Structure formats: C-alpha cells, structure tokens
A and B are shown apart, each in its own frame.
Chain A
Amino acid sequence: MCLLTDSAMKNAPDCRRFTCAPSSIGSPAPSDRGTETGLTTGRVLGALGLAAAGFLVLRAAERNRLQPQKQADRSRRADAAIQMGRASSLLAGSVFADSAMEHLRGGYHRRAMYVAPAMAGATLAASTSSRARLSRRNADLRDGIYLAGIATGLTGLGFHLWNISKRPGGATRMNNFFYAAPIGAPGALVASGLYGLAAGRLVRAPQMTSRQEGRLVGSMTALNILATSAEAGLLHFRSAFQNPVMFLPVIAPPAAAVALAAAVARPGRQMIKIARAACGTTVATGLAGAAFHVWGVHRMHGGWHNWRQNLLAGPPIAAPPSFAGLGLAGLGALDLLEMEAQP
C-alpha cells in the first residue's frame, strides 16, 4: 500500500489547461507545430521584442526624469497627448504581459501566437518613447508600429473567432466563449494602437478643433470601456461572481462610459467634472483589479507557492490594468473637451 500523499503530483504543471490548443485540457499535438527552425525563429523574435521593449522603457523613464519641469508648461493639448500616450502604454503593457502568459498557457501551439506579445511589446516601446519626447522625429516610425499593432489586433480578433468556431458547437455554445480564445482580448491591442496614433496627432498641428478631437477620442473610449467591461463581465460570470467585488468592473467602468458619452454629447463644465471623476474611478478599478487578481492567485489551490500553475490558471493579473489605460484615455479626451468648454 502506498503511503505517499504526493503533493508534487498534485501540483504538477501538466495539470494546467491549454486555452488555444485544439484539445483544450490536453497538451498540443507536436506534429502540427511546424519545424524546429520555425519555432526557434519565433522564440528569437519574441525575445528580441522583449529586449527592445525593455530597453525603450528604460530609456523613456530616463528621459522623463530629465525633463520634469517642462511638463507643467505644456499646453492642454499636449497634456491630452501625454494621457493618450499613457493610455496606449498601459494597454500595450497589459496586452504584452497578458498575451505572453495566455499564449504560454496555450503552449504557443501556433507560431502566430508569438506575434501578439511581440507587437504589443513594440507598441509599448513606441508609446513610452513618444510619451517622453513628443517630438516629430521618428513619428512616422511610431505610427507605423501603431498601425502594425492595430493590424495584429484585428487579425487576432479573427484568429480568436476562428478558435471559437472550430470547437464542437462553435459559436452556439457558451463553453466556447468561456474557455476558447477570449473573443475580445486582441481588441485591446487595437485600442492601444489607436491611442498611440491619437497621441501622435495631438503633438502635431491640429487638423480639427479640439472639441472634435475630444469627441472622437471620447466616444472611442466610451465604446472601448464598454467592450472591455463586457469581456470582464463574461469572464467574471464564468467564475460565477464568486466574490462580490467581481461586480466592480461591470458597474464602475460602464458608468464612466456613460458619463464620458454624456460629456461628449454636452461638454458642460459640470458634466466634464462628473466624467473626470468617473474616469478616475475606472483607473482605480483597473489598478485595484490587478491587486485583486494577485489575491485571486493566492486563493487558488497551492496559492503563490504553486505560482507556476496558478499564474496561468488563476485570474490574469495583467488584464485589469487595461481599464486604467482606458480611464486615462478618457481623462485625455476630457482635457480636449474642456478646452472648448472654457470661455
């Protein structure tokens, strides 16, 4: 009789689920993984993306430190540009970490899965560097990166839909929306690219009035918040809202989206003030969400001791900060709307 209570076996990483692989709770079939060379290329690209992102983040941080006093002098429009840049960075950072983790959970079953974190990394690098310098130098390069990020996000949406549709029952089964590739997640990369482009526009000569700019970014942000909230809602519903705080991202951000939309429609001082508070709450929701997800990992079996499994199977820590990014974008849009609201 075996007298062993084998905790090592219990916690073995092979218990983890593979979201994007065809056999969902199973490991991917190595046969359609492509050649070993292709795999290596993908890994090298991913590593290069990571390194580039890290380098640029550090460089940007360095420059930020050198020019603090200048920020105070910047015009409102430049302030809005900074907010857009931050929004783009936070969203790209969220996608970068989240897609890297979730695609790892999917065993990087297809080489295309490396593209998401790589492009998110590139977008992150572009947005952090633009935030620091706001110069027109390299602007075209940055725009190119944002556009590539947007294209990657859109392609990702298509890939995720395809992943849902090829499972038994396809789009008619909730199981596939709960557990197949998350339907809306790549949209955050699209949003990140759009805010990056917006930041770039805002440091150039205006092509439309600030109110128009504010309305454009404001309505886009309201829609983005609603979409992100819908995704959080779907996944929190999957987890049966087992902790009441899980209702937060389906209540606070949509309220901000409504307030923002109202401010876009009638940019009065009072409405802008309310929307500003709501967007601030959305930022706080995103940051609190990450903290709650850290707690959630602790509440999985084995907690943080079993981090190799629970970081992948537990609540995604990198996902909620996208709300913070969207909240900042909302604040930027309000900056623009406020310019017109002043006499």
Chain B
Amino acid sequence: MPLVEHLSPRAIAGRAPDVFRHGGWVPMREYGDDEEVDFTIVGTGAGGGTLAAKLAEAGFSVVALDAGPFWRPLEDFASDERHQDKLYWLDERISEGNDPIELGGNNSGRSVGGSTVHYQMVALRFRPEWFRSRTTLGYGHDWPVDWRRMWECYAEVEDALKISGPLTYPWGPKRGRYPYREHELNASAEVLARGCEELGVDWSACPTATVSARRGLSPHCVYRGFCKIGCATNAKQSTLNTFIPRALAAGAEIRDLSMVTRVETGADGRATGVVYQRDGQVRRQRARHVVVAGYSIETPRLLLNSASPKHPDGLANSSGLVGRALMVHTNHAVWGRFQEEIRWYKGPPSLAVCEHWNYADDEKDFFGGYAYMSQGPLPTDFAKTLAESEGIFGTELRRRMADYNHMAGLKIVGETMPQERNRVELADETDRYGVPLARVTYSMCENDRQLADHSLEFMRNALSAAGGQELFQSGGTAHLMGGCRMGFSREDSVVDGDGRSWDVGNLWICDGSLFPTGGGVNPSMTIMALAVHIADRIKTLAGQDAL
C-alpha cells in the first residue's frame, strides 16, 4: 500500500468503498462542483459524518469533504502500531505555551470517519449539570442547549452505534437501557473494579462503542485489543461504518482526500461554497450552506484563513473568539505491576470506568471533574510511556517491558478550564496546500494542576488497594474541545445553540470546537449528540422557512 500522501481518491465515478466488504463498492450519488448543493460539510468525523447522514436522510443534498482517505477496515488496517499512524493528522503544526500539547494520535484523525476510526470507544454522557456549569457549579460557561434535549440526542446516538453498556449506570439520572449488553470485563478492568470496591466508590462496566453481539454486517467483537489503532473487524462502531454508510445510502456524496482550504463568501458576506484540493487540483464546491466540522484546530484554522473584506478578522469572528478557549483533557495515569498475569492488551482497552469524581462535588476543592478507566496500551505505546515518565532506556527499558503482561493502569479523562489565552492562530509558515500552519498555544491553570494531582493520589490508592506494586505515574493530554464555542450572544460566542454562526447566517459549525466547557468524559458521544441536535434544528428551521 502506498503512503497516505500518495493515495488517490476512492470515492469517485459514482461509487464509494463498501467498508464491510473486501474490495467492495456501494453506489454514491455525485454532484457537480457548480451544482449548488444544500449543504457542503467540511469533515466527516463524529460531527460532520453524523450530520451528513442526518441531513441526507432529511432530504437535503449533501456533499461532505474529508482531507483523509476512505478506508476499508477489513483490508486496510494492519496489526502494527506504527503503520496505523496513517489514521492521525500528523501535518506540521506549531505547538507552544507553558504546557504545549502533543498533537497527533489521541487528539486528531485524518480519515473518512475522523478520529472515531481510532477512538477508544468510551461512550459516556456528560453530567447534566455540566450543561449549566457556570450557573450550577460556578465555573466555565453555560451551554445554550438543555441537558434533557442532549440526553434525547445521546439516546439516539447510542442506538445508532448500538453501544454495549451496563444495565444500570451508577451515576447521574436514570437513563434508558443501552441497546447492547456490556462486555465481559478483562483482567485490567477487574483491577479497576477491585480498587473501587476497596476504596468504597462505585465502578461500572464502561459503555463501549464496539458490539457485544452481531449487528448487521458488524461481527461480535473478537477482543483483539487493537481498537486504538483502528478496528480491522468492523466490530467497532465508528462514524466510518455507521453514519457514513447511512449518508451514502441517503444520497450524500462523500469526497475523500479533499482538503478544504477556504470558505468563500459573496459580496453580501454570506458563504457561497468552499475551495478545496483533490488529486492535485484546486476546485470549488458551491453550496447554499457550509458546515465546518474539522475539530478544534482545523475548524478555527479554516475560519481564520477564510478572511474576506466583509470578514477581515476571519469568518464568523466578530467576537474575536474563533480559536480561543481551546481545551484538552488531562490524561494523567498511575501504573503498577501485579503478581498475577493481566494481559491488558486483550479486549477493548477501557472496559471499566469510575466516574465518582465527576459527581462528588462536596469531597473536592477544585472545579471540574474526572473519570478514570482501566487501560490496555499496546507495547510501543507503553514503552513510550515508560521511557518518557521513568526516563529509562536500553536494557532497563527492556527489563521493565518484560513485565508488560503483568501491568495494569488507571488513567483519567480530566476536565480543564476554558481559558481564552489557550488558542489556535495562524502562523506565518504555510503547508503544502499553501494554508498557514496552525499555531496552538496551551497552558494549564492552577485548577487543572490541582485536579490532576488529586487524581494521581486517588488512583495510586486505588491501584495499591487492588494489589499493584512498584507504582509509577505519567502525565499527558487527550482530546480537544472548544475553539469556536456555542453560546447565548454574539459577543460571548462564535455560534448560537443551533451551531449557526452569529455573523454568517448560512455558516454552521458541528464538531468538538463548539464545547463551551470540556467535561470529564471522552467527547465523542457529546459531539455526535450535538450533530443530531443541530440536524434536527436545521430540519425544524427549514420547515419554518428560517434557513
């Protein structure tokens, strides 16, 4: 297989890859560049892919473009960590600040299906209070969407992905039953469970986006454990094998290997379409509405690069907030050696979760919360963690890696505060498309550190209580949120509660950059739920002739 840079588009000539069959194709409707489609969507991940399916099913004409390739998991994914780097967005970016973010594997994706192709499948809902965290919890910003509405959307997404989850979930308001049953706990998850039982806090089998029984053309998960580098059996329910096939069936066109470089606007300031590069050609797609769904770095970058006389500071940026209040999740972890064999690589990496510190407001003295999950890093990943956090290499690293099958670990998804100094800007250097590189500035605040320290102490106790020895810890970040937050007014946000730009009436944003606050859980379910919400709102507005 050629390198990613040398791949040619597959979704052409009226057909797109059939993700469920070796060498298979499904028919695809195509639109001409000059044909003004109802919606052109930039990005096909958790936000864009979901929205494409929902809008196409509602009868809109949709062209969705993605910078990444259109994979067939059965034939394109190797059981090799380095080879699968092809799933990440590894283009050059400038990362700075007091705590510069490592950009790559755990905060980006460059494929049709976006980062859901390699996500860890942790399918958690936000805590209801987080949608009004300013009002009820005293930090961050309120969301312009009610939590009950979001919970309806979560339910729809969970059904679309046939999430395998527990019959009862210990935290938060009662939720409906997950469509599929929870998976068997692996030994790594049992370590988390034992630790929680010893410390007297709740734990749960983790709701997971891989099927615990046959679902259509997706076979029962075989517990290979390569989930994080792309599932080669299609048991994982990503946007690529759920919403994208739905979008195609409903008449959407998916254009792979299409890098959008500008959103074009007319003399009236409204968006007229997008400029993109595909197969070495610069092309334009005309559209009545443009949706940007490129995630927290590429979305601000595209908007800032689409400045025009009407929008001198970048598109949708009258508030000056485009690119600001970028958030990460802290990803601190504690690791330990166990007497018994664990073999943590077996099965999905995070089969058990503890959300205690997302809900226990009275027992902590910092804002925000965190969840922690059991872990199952593949060997290269774990060797990297060992080398970086323990500062070891050579023989010593080899000796410690010999314990790989006896290791277990707990890792948080920790909420960080939305700080406007953390931002995405355009650098002076340009990439191969001629677009200025993203300059990403990130610094933790005191509260972020307090939360991380608290989590490390708690997880140390939990891991010891479960029988872990020779404990050590590591830092790091995962996920991105914010950068184009949604809000209640044009001064305080980039888009409204429907994801629609305050400045440009036919420009929408639908991805993780909308998040006003980050929450202490993995963001994919919330991004998809927002996409469902935005699609429903668009349908409603179209019905009222208010588009």
Q: Which residues of A contact B (CB under 8 A)?
A: 1-6, 9-10, 14-15, 17, 22-27, 29, 167-169, 174-175, 178-179, 237-240, 242-243, 296, 299-302, 309, 313-314
Contacts and interface: CB of A to CB of B under 8 A. Distances in A.
Contacts of A15: 222-225, 346
B522 interface: no
Contacts of B185: 24-25, 167-168, 175, 179
Given A23-B340, A239-B214, 17 more contacts: A1-B82, A3-B78, A4-B83, A5-B77, A10-B79, A24-B184, A24-B186, A26-B343, A168-B193, A168-B197, A169-B193, A174-B167, A174-B182, A240-B180, A242-B214, A299-B219, A301-B235
B187 interface: yes
Contacts of A240: 162, 179-181, 212-213
A26 B341 contact: yes
Given A3-B83, A238-B212, A179 B219 contact: no
6 contacts: A2-B80, A2-B82, A5-B232, A10-B233, A168-B185, A301-B219
Residue of B3, B75, B76, B347 most packed against chain A (CB within 10 A)? B347
Contacts of B213: 238-240, 242
Contacts of B259: none
A64 to B, nearest CB: 40
A240 to B, nearest CB: 5
B179 A25 contact: no
A26 B346 contact: yes
Residue of A2, A6, A29, A242 most packed against chain B (CB within 10 A)? A242
B205 interface: yes
Contacts of A168: 185, 190, 193-194, 197, 203
A243 B216 CA distance: 10
Given A5-B75, A5-B232, A25 B223 contact: yes
Contacts of B186: 23-26
Contacts of B223: 15, 17, 25
B314 to A, nearest CB: 37
B220 interface: yes
A205 B82 CA distance: 76
A25 B184 contact: yes
Nearest to B192: A168
Given A1-B82, A3-B1, A26-B341, A243 B346 contact: no
A26 B181 contact: no
A26 B187 contact: yes
Contact of A300 (B180, B205, B220, B340): B220
Nearest to A306: B222
B385 to A, nearest CB: 21
A174 B1 CA distance: 45
Given A4-B80, A5-B232, A6-B79, A25 B346 contact: yes
Contacts of A313: 220, 222
Nearest to A25: B186
A23 B341 contact: yes
B222 A243 contact: no
A313 B223 CA distance: 10
Given A175-B185, A178-B184, A10 B346 contact: no
B166 interface: yes
B380 to A, nearest CB: 11
Interface of B: 1, 3, 75-80, 82-83, 162, 166-167, 179-182, 184-187, 190, 193-194, 197, 203, 205, 212-215, 219-220, 222-225, 232-233, 235, 340-343, 346-347
Contact of A178 (B162, B181, B194): B181
A238 B185 CA distance: 14
B347 A25 contact: yes
Nearest to A237: B181
B71 to A, nearest CB: 11
A27 B343 CA distance: 8
Contacts of A9: 79, 224
Given A5-B78, A174-B166, A299 B340 contact: no
Contacts of B83: 1-4
A178 B75 CA distance: 32
Residue of A24, A168, A169 most packed against chain B (CB within 10 A)? A168
A19 B173 CA distance: 33
A301 B213 CA distance: 11
Contacts of B166: 174-175
A179 B343 contact: no
Closest 4 CB pairs of A and B: A23-B187, A168-B193, A25-B186, A239-B213
A239 B1 CA distance: 37
A3 B82 CA distance: 10
Nearest to A167: B190
A175 B212 CA distance: 12
A5 B224 CA distance: 14
Given A25-B186, A239-B212, A301 B78 contact: no
A27 B341 contact: yes
B222 A24 contact: no
B212 A25 contact: no
A69 B476 CA distance: 80
A54 to B, nearest CB: 33
Contacts of B3: 1
Contacts of A26: 186-187, 341-343, 346
Contacts of B235: 301
B190 A24 contact: yes
Nearest to B234: A301
A268 B194 CA distance: 57
